[in-house]
A and B are shown apart, each in its own frame.
Chain A
């Protein structure tokens, strides 16, 4: 068996996503690497591609929150005109604004879900504030709602920065022959088509294994593309993909 010091645990995007955004079930699996770190002296890595993939996903969602809330606030202020107070009778305006916006997205799309969530917090926020002894005027209301959106988005950014900061970054270097081997494998064609970044990540991990002379393990929660093809991937490029829950078995 390879010494723990000679093992590099790499992660893919599914694991980073679970670590940053996952619920308890996800976290208990991804948190397993952290627990093992306290027992075995290995180093953990992620490739630049993994970081970028998660960062871009976060960017898209944060941008949507900013755009939707800003658009709503602009229309709401125009609607209120000189009327300075928030009122429960403003609710039909909110309903109509979001009805129009939601109609642009199919029901199951994540954009639609975000918009529905924004709609729900804004309605509740208006009710919460209009019941105060001194309801805020419109500028104070819209700015404080935006502060709340910023706090939540910032907390998510904070978790991303702190959690991704715990990993060393692998260079974006690949061996072209490895990529060709993976891309040419008939059983991996679905992954090649649907998730080209997964192939790129495997190639980056393989290149690191070659250059660092460490035994690289790829911890992942992706059953469909990675775990179900684990034996095949290992036979092709010598990288073992495994569920973090069973990582301990690889250490002496």
Chain B
């Protein structure tokens, strides 16, 4: 029998889309400057959304992988962060090559524009394209995920949580886009009032800080778990990037439960934080496409209610 996972591509484009989101979000570091204009050197406040130094995606990913590899205690002779990053870069280049619209939007950040409207446009446009990509490739991702489940020796519950995490990340990106659009409009309305500009930025940053903290926690715990499982089943560096059958031996069970519970707890907090407006729209992605499954949900709930 042919292994089901072998029908799927060797690199996981969804992980690269999520990394691209991280890269875009790292551009949002607003600063206020006083600039002189005109003959009378009139001073005006300008806003610069971007940090002085361009975020380095490879550094971000490299330090994350380094941290995770240390956490899970991966000591295989075929693994080093540098070698891992070489393959990561190769796959990321392939991902951008296959998704030109994402590449274009990420390239626009290199223009170093200091026009705040253009900066807003770049962030909003990139995040919108990335959330759309994640949405349109959901079915493909889900099939790949289920092929992995069928060939692996892992609890079904884990795959329920991967599914929710995937959908909730789309919601959080869309919610960031909504917040950024609101901020752009508000900053335009209060453009001549420094105090109000600061207050609007502070309000946004407070919410944004909470979002990135929770997004980081859930992503890190998920990535740690995935990395742990793959590293336990990998024979070479290449296997860390592939969808392969994942088995747990007796010695890995305890550690697996630690990472699994951490992911579950973080996802639970995240689920209750994500803006309900987007979450309830995006959970529709999870709707069944088949008539045969229509009342399975209800029947299942009745049994669970009576069980025990």
B42 within 8 A of A: no
Q: Please indicate the chain A residues that have their CB under 8 angstroms from the CB of B286 in the complex.
A: 151, 154-155, 158
Is the CB–CB distance between B7 and A139 below 8 Å? yes
Contact of A152 among B157, B296, B308 (CB under 8 A): B296
Is the CB–CB distance between B305 and A17 below 8 Å? yes
Contact of B290 among A114, A128, A158 (CB under 8 A): A128
Say which one of A32-40, A52-60, A179-187 lies at the interface with B: A52-60
A31 within 8 A of B: no
Q: Cα distance A63–B283 when bound, in Å?
A: 22
Is the CB–CB distance between B271 and A162 below 8 Å? yes
Q: A129-158, CB under 8 A of B: which get 1 and which 0? A: 000000000010011101111111111111
Is the CB–CB distance between A150 and B142 below 8 Å? yes
Q: Cα distance A143–B143 when bound, in Å?
A: 6
B4 within 8 A of A: yes
Q: Please indicate the chain A residues that have their CB under 8 angstroms from the CB of B155 in the complex.
A: 62-63, 66
Is the CB–CB distance between B300 and A18 below 8 Å? no
Contact of A153 among B7, B156, B267, B307 (CB under 8 A): B156
Q: Please indicate the chain A residues that have their CB under 8 angstroms from the CB of B297 in the complex.
A: 152, 155-156
Q: Cα distance A231–B306 when bound, in Å?
A: 27
A189 within 8 A of B: no
Contact of B296 among A57, A67, A121, A162 (CB under 8 A): A121
B303 within 8 A of A: yes
Q: Which residue of A lies closest to B153 (CB)?
A: A70
Q: Cα distance A28–B283 when bound, in Å?
A: 23
Q: Is the interface of B mostly helix, strand, loop or mixed?
A: helix
Q: Please indicate the chain B residues that have their CB under 8 angstroms from the CB of A190 in the complex.
A: none
Interface residues of B in 273-308 (CB under 8 A from A): 283, 286-293, 296-308
Is the CB–CB distance between A70 and B300 below 8 Å? no
Q: Which residue of B lies closest to A152 (CB)?
A: B297
A93 within 8 A of B: no
Measured between C-beta atoms, what is the minimum distance from A48 to chain B in Å? 12
Is the CB–CB distance between B305 and A21 below 8 Å? yes
Is the CB–CB distance between A121 and B293 below 8 Å? yes
Contact of B159 among A61, A121, A128, A150 (CB under 8 A): A150
Interface residues of B in 140-167 (CB under 8 A from A): 142-143, 145-147, 149-150, 155-157, 159-161, 163-164
Q: Please indicate the chain B residues that have their CB under 8 angstroms from the CB of A165 in the complex.
A: 268-269, 271-272
Q: Cα distance A43–B164 when bound, in Å?
A: 28
Known: A152-B300, A156-B300. A60 touches B307 (CB 8 A): yes
Q: Cα distance A110–B300 when bound, in Å?
A: 10
A23 within 8 A of B: yes
Is the CB–CB distance between A143 and B146 below 8 Å? yes
B2 within 8 A of A: yes
Is the CB–CB distance between B304 and A58 below 8 Å? yes
Q: Is the interface of A mostly helix, strand, loop or mixed?
A: helix
Is the CB–CB distance between B301 and A147 below 8 Å? no
B250 within 8 A of A: no
B1 within 8 A of A: yes
Contact of B300 among A61, A67, A146 (CB under 8 A): A61
Measured between C-beta atoms, what is the minimum distance from B207 to chain A in Å? 18
Is the CB–CB distance between B288 and A151 below 8 Å? yes
Q: Cα distance A59–B304 when bound, in Å?
A: 10
Q: Which residue of A lies closest to B156 (CB)?
A: A66
Q: Cα distance A161–B296 when bound, in Å?
A: 20
Q: Please indicate the chain B residues that have their CB under 8 angstroms from the CB of A164 in the complex.
A: 268
Interface residues of A in 162-211 (CB under 8 A from B): 162, 164-166
Contact of A148 among B150, B161, B289, B303 (CB under 8 A): B289
Q: Please indicate the chain B residues that have their CB under 8 angstroms from the CB of A166 in the complex.
A: 272
Is the CB–CB distance between B149 and A161 below 8 Å? no
Contact of B4 among A61, A66, A125, A142 (CB under 8 A): A142
Q: Please indicate the chain A residues that have their CB under 8 angstroms from the CB of B4 in the complex.
A: 139, 142-143
Interface residues of B in 163-183 (CB under 8 A from A): 163-164
Is the CB–CB distance between A157 and B160 below 8 Å? yes
Is the CB–CB distance between B164 and A66 below 8 Å? no
Measured between C-beta atoms, what is the minimum distance from A30 to chain B in Å? 12
Measured between C-beta atoms, what is the minimum distance from B277 to chain A in Å? 14
Q: Cα distance A144–B287 when bound, in Å?
A: 13
Q: Please indicate the chain B residues that have their CB under 8 angstroms from the CB of A149 in the complex.
A: 156
Is the CB–CB distance between A61 and B307 below 8 Å? yes
For this complex, 17 residue pairs linking A to B, each with C-beta atoms less than 8 Å apart, are: A21-B305, A22-B301, A62-B157, A66-B157, A70-B149, A73-B150, A77-B1, A110-B306, A110-B307, A125-B293, A139-B7, A143-B143, A151-B142, A151-B286, A153-B156, A153-B160, A154-B160
Top 10 A-B pairs, shortest CB-CB distance: A66-B156, A165-B272, A124-B292, A146-B146, A110-B307, A21-B301, A125-B292, A154-B160, A154-B163, A161-B271
Residues of chain A having any CB pair with chain B under 8 Å: 17-18, 21-23, 26, 57-63, 65-67, 70, 73-74, 77-78, 110, 113-114, 117, 121, 124-125, 127-128, 139, 142-144, 146-158, 161-162, 164-166
Beyond the given pairs A124-B292, A128-B292, A148-B293, 4 more chain A to chain B contacts, judged by CB atoms under 8 angstroms and listed by A's residue number, are A59-B157, A110-B308, A143-B150, A156-B297
